């Protein structure tokens, strides 16, 4: 069974059928909401809305540890995270779907490891390739099979939020090599690695990042919903194909 973590724009996966919900508790507290089990393209999946089902949990307030721990407890065979983002690279404009292959983490003060406290020996995990090659391939092949274009490879820069970035911050991220920018990819991806879960993200670009393209002077938040809704439909098609292929 695969897990899907939905981001902004995907608080509810309406394509899910025969749903049932289960509240889970973890040593790290409660996940963002109840786990929703159901079938997608005839396959059993579990869905979790990262920001809560009412979209009330801000990126820095998400209990990433509880979310990932709960998925580990369910022994899911892979995690697909939907990551709404802004396009830093000029060619990654609104409506682009990307499967990132690298991460730069600009977040701070988030609970970002399972390995802490006096009971836990110091443990380092390898994170050279932060996403699972198998899950990335699954997404890219699924997109090709349903004729949805996705960009294979991008560096996802994760900022603290909840405010959007300044134009200078985006310039710096671009100099650092960031291609898209979002607020929730970390520590989620790192915790998945610590938990031994195969994790990949499907990035949904909903705006040009601050100072780029038509966001030169400001990011018009009222424009985002429209792009988001149109692009999420395509993302869901890829998700359906991905779980179908995974069997």
Which residues make up the interface to ligand HPA (CB under 6 A)? 84-86, 159, 164-165, 181-183, 206-207, 209
For the bound state, the minimum distance from the C-beta of residue 212 to ligand HPA, rounded and expressed in Å, comes to 9
CB of 215 to ligand HPA, least distance (A): 7
Nearest residue to ligand HPA, by Cβ distance, number only: 86
The distance of closest approach from Cβ of residue 207 to ligand HPA in the complex, given in angstroms and rounded to an integer, is 5
**CB of 131 vs ligand HPA, minimal distance in Å:** 18
Q: Which residues have a Cβ under 8 Å from the Cβ of 62 and sit 6 or more positions away? A: 32, 50, 51, 184
d(CA 99, CA 212): 21
Return the residue matching tokens 């109840």: 34
Q: Pick the closer one to ligand HPA by CB: 165 or 240.
A: 165
Closest CB to ligand HPA among residues 124, 163: 163
Q: Which tokens hold the place of 98?
A: 């990307």
Q: How far is the CB of 209 from ligand HPA (least distance, A)?
A: 5
With respect to ligand HPA, which residue has the nearer C-beta, 38 or 213? 213
**Residue closer to ligand HPA (CB basis): 72 or 208:** 208
Alpha-carbon distances of 141 from 15, 46, 136, rounded to whole Å: 20, 21, 9
Q: What does the block give as tokens for 155?
A: 């560096």
How far apart, in whole angstroms, are the C-alpha atoms of residue 93 and residue 89? 8
What backbone phi and psi angles, to 5 degrees, belong to 98? Answer: -130, 150
Closer by beta carbon to ligand HPA, 84 or else 132 = 84
């Amino acid at each position: 069974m695969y897990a899907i973590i939905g981001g902004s724009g995907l608080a509810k996966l309406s394509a899910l059928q025969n749903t049932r919900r289960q509240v889970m508790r973890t040593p790290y507290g409660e996940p963002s909401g109840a786990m929703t089990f159901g079938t997608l393209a005839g396959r059993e999946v579990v869905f979790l809305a990262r920001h809560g089902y009412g979209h009330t949990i801000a990126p820095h307030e998400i209990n990433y540890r509880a979310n990932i721990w709960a998925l580990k407890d369910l022994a899911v065979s892979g995690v697909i995270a939907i990551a709404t983002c802004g396009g830093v690279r000029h060619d990654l404009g609104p409506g682009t779907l990307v499967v990132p292959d690298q991460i730069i983490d600009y977040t701070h003060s988030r609970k970002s490891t399972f390995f802490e406290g006096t009971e836990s020996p110091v443990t380092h995990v390898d994170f050279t390739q932060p996403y699972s090659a198998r899950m990335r391939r699954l997404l890219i092949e699924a997109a090709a099979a349903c004729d949805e274009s996705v960009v294979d490879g991008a560096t996802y820069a994760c900022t603290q939020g909840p405010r959007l970035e300044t134009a200078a911050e985006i310039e710096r991220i671009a100099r650092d090599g960031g291609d898209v920018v979002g607020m929730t990819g970390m520590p989620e991806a790192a915790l998945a690695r610590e938990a031994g879960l195969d994790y990949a993200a499907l990035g949904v670009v909903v705006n040009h990042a601050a100072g780029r393209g038509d966001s030169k002077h400001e990011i018009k938040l009222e424009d985002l919903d429209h792009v988001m809704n149109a692009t999420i439909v395509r993302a869901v098609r890829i998700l359906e194909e991905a779980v179908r292929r995974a069997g």
